[in-house]
Each structure stands twice: as structure tokens, then as C-alpha cells.
Amino acid sequence: MNNFDLTVPKGSIYGFLGPNGSGKTTTIRMICGLLTPNAGSGTCLDWDVIKQSEKIKTQVGYMTQKFSLWEDLTIHENLDFVARTYEIPERPGRVAEALDTLGLSARSNQLAGSLSGGWKQRLALAACMIHDPKLLLLDEPTAGVDPKARREFWDTIHDLADSGVTILVSTHYMDEAAQCDFIVYIAYGRKLIDAPSAEIAKRVGLHTWRAEGKRLPEIANMLKKDPRVEQVARFGTSLHISGRNKAALRAAIAPWHGKSDVTWREQEPGLEEAFIHLMGETEDNFQ
């Protein structure tokens, strides 16, 4: 990471976005004391990330990209083992509470290795939360999980944030990013933007037109060659044409207006357009 700084408000959901290898996991591991930065300073939960990392670890729940619990133990045995590790008082009751909260009670005797991706996700989250951490770090927690399980997972995350838990989550999904209170976008070890999620597109400064019809491949090929157009992206059955100069963008698409087989609508740019644009302006300094 290169001169990276971040301030996360208590009880917020902070989204980490960026391509593979951008530094998301590295940042998360530095925050919770698993990696020591080469330079700089910082605090996490009012503790120094370099000098007091052991104290930070006791108040952090870290859910890794890959399922990291014991597949030859049952759900109950996994949670009981984690609870023992944290020396949680009244352990049986706390394990039972964790099972109930994440809807795992009926499966408590099932081996973790036999669970589907969505149920493994619930178990991993229960293990992260069993010691009541103040900060939850989720590293691409919904990768490979079906949409229903993702939706249920995010409902749980919002409930945790409402109860005062601060949450940092890395994700590649734009619909998930939109659910975060704040978003920081990282590429190749550098922070490109850091803002409330609702303000990201406006700060990038894009204007976007949406085209629908039968001639989208032809329109896309022509507009990609037009210097007045900065971005042309296909979104399902529509084409999104974007640029920072509103007048120039409108002039570029003017020849296509009025065509009976193409409909046009000006719209607010979304997170995906904003991030595609940011990546287009970023040089891969690891190449």
C-alpha cells in the first residue's frame, strides 16, 4: 500500500472495492494486526496498530476469503472450539445463542465440510461474532454464494451495524457496494476515492446516457472511436455512454438521436460506471 489513509466511523459499514491484487486483503490484515506496515502509523479501536496489535485482535472478528474453520468438526463443535479459544465465560449458553442468531440450531450436529457455501458463510460469521467484537472485518465473504444467501447475509450485516458494530467488507459486487455507508476504492496499492457511497458517482463527475434498441453494437463501435466519449459499457440490453463534458457527450450522441429503432435517456451514473472510469485512468504500477 502506498500512503494509504482511512477513517472509519463507529457503527458504519465501510466497503473496500478494487481489482484482485489491489491491496484490500493487505489493508485488512494490517488493521487487525496480522501484518505490520513498513512505515506510517494508525489506531484501531483506540489502540496502536503496531504496538498494541494483540489488544486489537481480542476485539476484532475476521472472516477470511476462504472458509477457514474445521471441516471435520460439526457446527456446534467449531463454535465451541472458537469460544474456548477466546475463553468466553458461560460458554455453552453463548454457543447456543450464536447458533440461534445465525439460524444454525437445526444443523448444529452437521459436519462443517458438508455445508453449502451459504451455510458455511453463516457458520464463519457466527464464529467471528461469538466473542462480541467491536469491529468486523469481512474479506470477500459472499464470493461463490447464491443470491438468496447473499441477501440474507447482508440483512444480518445491517442488523449488526445497527447494534453498533463497525464493519469493513471487501467485495467485487456493485449491488453489495451500494449497501455500504462509505466506499473506498483501491487499485494497485493506491486509494483512488473514499466517500459516502451515495456521493461516489457525483465526485467522479461523469454524465451518462442510456441507449436501448437493435443497433447497440454499431453505436458502441462508433462511439468508442469518438474522443468526446470517455466510456462505453454494455449493461444487459442497454448501452451506457459516459463522459465528464456534458455538452461534448451530447454532441457525440446527437447523430443517433431521433432514430426510430433506438431510444435514449439521460440518467445518473451508477457505481459501476464510476469505478470502470476510475480503473481506466489508473496505471498498473505492478506490471
Tens of pLDDT, residues 181-238: 999 988 877 888 899 988 888 888 889 999 998 889 999 999 999 999 999 989 888 9
> Tens digits of per-residue pLDDT, 82-110?
999 999 999 999 999 999 988 999 999 99
CATH of the domain at 86: 3.40.50.300
Residue 6 is assigned to a structural domain of this protein: no
For the residues of 84-99, what is the DSSP string, one character each?
HHTT-SSHHHHHHHHH
* Predicted local confidence at residue 282, as pLDDT: 63
CATH of the domain at 238: 3.30.70.940
22-40 average pLDDT score? 83
**Which of 163, 178, 200 is a domain's end point?**
200
Structural domain including 69 reads 13-200
* Predicted local confidence at residue 286, as pLDDT: 47
Q: What confidence tier does 60 reach under pLDDT thresholds 50, 70, 90? A: very high
Bigger pLDDT: 31 vs 130 = 130
Residue 277 is assigned to a structural domain of this protein: no
Helix axis angle, 147-162 relative to 117-129, nearest 10°? Answer: 10
3-state secondary structure of 277: helix
Q: Residue 87 has which C-alpha cell?
A: 475463553
In a shared domain, residues 23 and 161: yes
In a shared domain, residues 176 and 55: yes
Q: Sheet containing 262-267: which strands, arranged edge to edge?
A: 231-235, 238-243, 207-213, 262-267
Q: How far apart are CA 219 and CA 159, in angstroms?
A: 45
Amino acid present at 101: T
In a shared domain, residues 106 and 228: no
159's CB contacts (< 8 A; 6+ apart) are none
CA distances from 45 to 52, 60, 128, 175 (A): 10, 9, 17, 29
> Tens digits of per-residue pLDDT, 119-135?
998 999 999 999 999 99
Q: What confidence tier does 118 reach under pLDDT thresholds 50, 70, 90? A: confident
* Predicted local confidence at residue 281, as pLDDT: 64
pTM of the model: 0.82
DSSP category for residue 110: S
133-151 average pLDDT score? 85
In a shared domain, residues 35 and 177: yes
* Predicted local confidence at residue 4, as pLDDT: 80
Average pLDDT, rounded, for the chain: 88
CB atoms under 10 Å from CB of 160, counted, come to 20
In a shared domain, residues 178 and 262: no
Residue 283 is assigned to a structural domain of this protein: no
Helix axis angle, 117-129 relative to 91-101, nearest 10°? Answer: 140
Q: How far is CA 153 from the centre of its chain?
A: 13
Residue 4 is assigned to a structural domain of this protein: no
In a shared domain, residues 216 and 166: no
Are 246 and 228 in contact by the 8 Å Cβ rule? The answer is no
* Predicted local confidence at residue 240, as pLDDT: 94
User: Per the structure, how many domains does the chain have?
Assistant: 2
Percent of the chain beyond pLDDT 70? 97
Contacts of 154-157 with CB under 8 Å at 24 or more apart are 154/179, 156/102, 156/125, 157/13
Are 256 and 210 in contact by the 8 Å Cβ rule? The answer is no
Task: Please calculate the CA angle 52-53-54 and round it to the nearest 5 degrees.
Answer: 95
200-223 core/surface letters (b: 16 or more CB in 10 A; e: else): bbeebebbbbebebeebeebbebb
Summarize the chain as % helix, strand, coil (round to 5): 40, 20, 40
Q: How buried is residue 224: exposed, middle or buried, by Cβ count under 10 Å (0-12/13-18/19+)?
A: exposed
Residue 274 is assigned to a structural domain of this protein: no
